[in-house]
Structure 1
Amino acid sequence: MIDLYLKRVIIHQFSPNDTEILFSDDLLTLTPQLDDYFRKKISKVFSDEAKRGQFSDDNVFMSYLTDDFMETSRKIAELWKEEFVISENQKTNDLIFVQFDRDGQEYFGFLRVALKENLAHISGDSQSPIKLTQNILPSAAATPDEALLINRVSKNYYLIEKRIKHNGSFANYFSENLLQVQPEQSVKKSIKLVEDTAQKIAENFNQDDFAFQSKMKTAIFKNLEEDQELSPEKLADQLFDQNLTARLTFVDELKEAIPEPIQVQDIDHSRQTKKLESQKLSLSNGIELIVPNTIYQDAESVEFIQNPDGTYSILIKNIEDIQNK
């Protein structure tokens, strides 16, 4: 988990019944259990799901962040409610405001957590001890429903947002209306776009086979691990090294959505590298293979042979032990 130091936490609550906010007058007392819970929640925002960006000096939302933590939390809760209240699907939400340090720099955090309905055993009523309660917090491992973390020094932000439905259409109310920013798309979405674009280009140039798919996964994995970034230009050189037109087409199709290399050093991108660290092959005869990239690229460990009739053979070499799992 990312190393975080929580300083202050306050929780207000939004009720869909009267669309009002129940404001708390006191900071939350941070027990070790609560400290662990909120640090895990915040860590889920520094992830491949977050949209990122930097607030401009004249951004109106940033003017609401003052040294008065309590007043700031109340103001932003009210502003959030004004935008969220039009949503057609409302639940009871805890609005959690956090002041914390990451790597010695101060952050301001706002987490929206939808409370869950569940059965609970309530003591004191022997005839009906099992009651339905609507105030169950989700697990610490669950990503907040929405979240905004702002570096108070650099003004960089991390955003988890959900579109709300209003009058039959959906809108990113958080970024567009509340923050008035245009964030970068998430690393998760960017990688998916890179993969889809590469596959489309390969199909257009008759390169799309299992060998290209494996080459693509290996290239993305190595760039994320070694360079801590994903550059369309560098990937183009690696994936389409024999075809200048394919290289240029690949970069051109990504330049609007990914104008700069995708940086990952400031977030947890382990879920992406976990998916890419092995090649998962499904063969026409029903056999499925999972081959780690380090072995996949080693001709002394595995060899793919194309037979004269167009079929493939896979030769797995130097196996010391086989276990049935």
Structure 2
Amino acid sequence: MDRPTIADLARAASVSVSTVDRVLNGRDPVRPATAEKVLAAAEAIGFHATGLIRQRLDRPDRTLGFLLQQRSRPYYRLLGEALQEAVRTSPAVRGRAVIEFMDDLTPGAVADRLLKLGADVDAAAVVAADHPHVTQAIDRLNGRGVPVFAFISDLTAQARAGYVGLDNWKVGRTAAWAVSNLCKAPGKVGIFVGSHRYLCQDVCEASFRSYFREHAPEFQLLEPLTSLEDPRYAHESTLDLLKRNPDLVGLYVAGGGVEGVIRGLRDQGGDVFRRIVTVGHEITEDTRSALIDGVLKLVLSHPVKGLAETAVAAMIRAAEPGDRDLPVPGPVPFDIFTAENL
């Protein structure tokens, strides 16, 4: 006799095939009473995946908190959506995501928001500049049994549960490789960071310079400009940089505000932005258009879906009783975009 199919299970439980699929794969929430009815029918007809259904129903409830930067920044809106989806579809838990966006990025404000978030979640992840206030908040939450992950930018807090993000040493050197090899001739190269308090950006700049010292010393790297993670300020700074350095050949935007840099380059016209090899971070609608138009030559980006799934899986493991010392995931591989592979 053939073993029962999903269609057979759906008929036995008096539900649709799509409902059975949701129970099996955890893709969408199903009312507990409906899920129990599917389980009872599976046991009655000897459905081969009864154990999986039972496992799905036995998943613990977990609330995961994420403290992200400004909602106005397209990348963080995309990331917030990906995190919601990763928590919702996690096969390990019945999850709830609490996602908060910060406009005030001062360390004291971030620390306060983190402590408030930590009071209501089983584990947290935060994108923050490295600062003693943030370290103190992580220490306090760790003492309460709430693991906190450094997300996207690492932190020096010893009590952090781990870091989920890129290998920024490789990111910066990849950006340097692109600028040095795509420029038609050596010359001046500008660098933007949002703030050196973000360790990811500090490491990107350091490794960018390291590559040039090692492989392309004929280029002149200028002192970094700070965008303060603000596109308006980055726009003004870009116009000033181009005015003071009309012979600029390369530009690396290692921090936030890339939208302002793009706008500043566009203001100067095609002759300027086609001449300058500009590398930025994160694929968004703005950076995608800039790649197509030649304003940017290369974009190095977090893989949003993979980053979200890695963070959620690590946070779930860390929130399990007795699992606090489990190894954290290694760096997430980054994506490389040009106009030709969009």
- As a proportion of its length, which structure holds more strand? 1
- As a proportion of its length, which structure holds more helix? 2
State the TM-score, normalized to the length of structure 2: 0.22
